[in-house]
Structure 1
């Protein structure tokens, strides 16, 4: 299926018809003014997407990447959100050969609202299905691009019992000296997610590194354990 058949013009028309200027200003402000918006919130966007897409399947990696690329190039942020929706729906099509494409999604129009989904659903599913790609993450954790480092930290968010604990803790140790908010937050988030699997291991890691971990990372890491009154 060619991206030409996806009628991006039709999607654009639907978005323009349903735009909300007040919402657009609020959404842009929430994203620190980095992006323009139609002002279409998620429930309506999903409804528009269903009307536009009509349930047709994507069966080839090339077609999925072509669609995502086409949507990524468009100005309003809702187009990138649609791209993420498709990526999540058909994420099993991603392969190790998708990694350069995924990296481009991370480093283009970068902000947490897209990067985190690409990290946990696009990148994560490739590493989950092809564990050898973990070696790529071992390089990404030292990358000069902050969003790539954040992706390396977050890519195992959905791994649950298959989380590589050594890799997770190693990445946190490598980056816990950083002052960057998005790295500190990612460390805490990744540790908190793993605490649902092995709370004792996370608690011990935080104790062992309490003087090096930022307050933000520690607070985020221990949130779930505190709710369960395990600490």
Structure 2
């Protein structure tokens, strides 16, 4: 299945009955084809299996998918990038930033942060950490949220001092998605280093939401 065929396949399998409630769940921010994840995965399985054999990332295809109004195409773009994540380089960070800033919402931003920016960070640690220090100070909440969440899957490889630094950059914002991200990052890392997280909760002036979310396991 080629790139044109997967786009056609998704359109041909659109389900208007599902589309309306899916759009409502996302606060009416995006149109939907009405393809829920299990069906979407089934339809794209063959395409993504073939894509894994690619030697380069087709960024024109990614941005083309991002331009479609239906949200399922942004999901497909991310799944395509995840399939080729080992090809991501530090030069691709700016492209991921474009995706974060366009059609921004938690459903795309969180995956880009943890699975794509995080992947670049694994192999380009110094470069990515330097970039995330800058992103943490961004006035755009989704860029800042990415800096908070990119280490989400790192476990014992988490740079905990960097985690603390990016949290401190985002205190007092009163932004739900920022405070939620702080709590999520702390909660996830508490599975690895509960003492560190406990110390952050006790010594840093976190918002009540961040403190509550971050302290669930400590």
1:156 CA displacement = 0.4
Query: What 5-or-longer segments of structure 1 have no aligned partner?
Result: 226-231
2:134 paired residue number: 139
- The TM-score with structure 1 as length reference comes to 0.89
C-alpha contact (below 8 Å) 1:6/1:53 kept by paired residues? no
Structure 1 residues 180, 203: closer, same or farther in 2, change over 3 A? Answer: same
RMSD (Å), alpha carbons: 1.6
Structure 1 residues 54, 60: closer, same or farther in 2, change over 3 A? Answer: closer
C-alpha contact (below 8 Å) 2:23/2:31 kept by paired residues? yes
1:22 paired residue number: 17
After TM superposition, the structure 1 = structure 2 runs for residues 51-66 of structure 1, keeping only pairs within 5 Å, are 51-53=46-48, 55-63=50-58, 65-66=59-60
Number of aligned pairs? Answer: 217
- Provide the C-alpha distance between the structure 1 equivalents of 2:78 and 2:21, rounded to a whole number of angstroms: 21
1:229 paired residue number: none
- Provide the C-alpha distance between the structure 1 equivalents of 2:138 and 2:30, rounded to a whole number of angstroms: 25
- Provide the C-alpha distance between the structure 1 equivalents of 2:48 and 2:132, rounded to a whole number of angstroms: 34
Q: Does 1:214 align with 2:181?
A: no
2:29 paired residue number: 34
1:228 paired residue number: none
1:172 paired residue number: 167
1:48 pairs with one of 30, 36, 43 = 43
1:159 CA displacement = 0.8
1:71 CA displacement = 1.1
Query: What 5-or-longer segments of structure 2 have no aligned partner?
Result: none
- Provide the C-alpha distance between the structure 1 equivalents of 2:48 and 2:161, rounded to a whole number of angstroms: 42
Q: Does 1:182 align with 2:186?
A: no
- The TM-score with structure 2 as length reference comes to 0.94
- Provide the C-alpha distance between the structure 2 equivalents of 1:84 and 1:54, rounded to a whole number of angstroms: 14
After TM superposition, the structure 1 = structure 2 runs for residues 113-132 of structure 1, keeping only pairs within 5 Å, are 113-132=107-126
- Provide the C-alpha distance between the structure 2 equivalents of 1:58 and 1:74, rounded to a whole number of angstroms: 25
1:7 pairs with one of 3, 6, 19 = 3
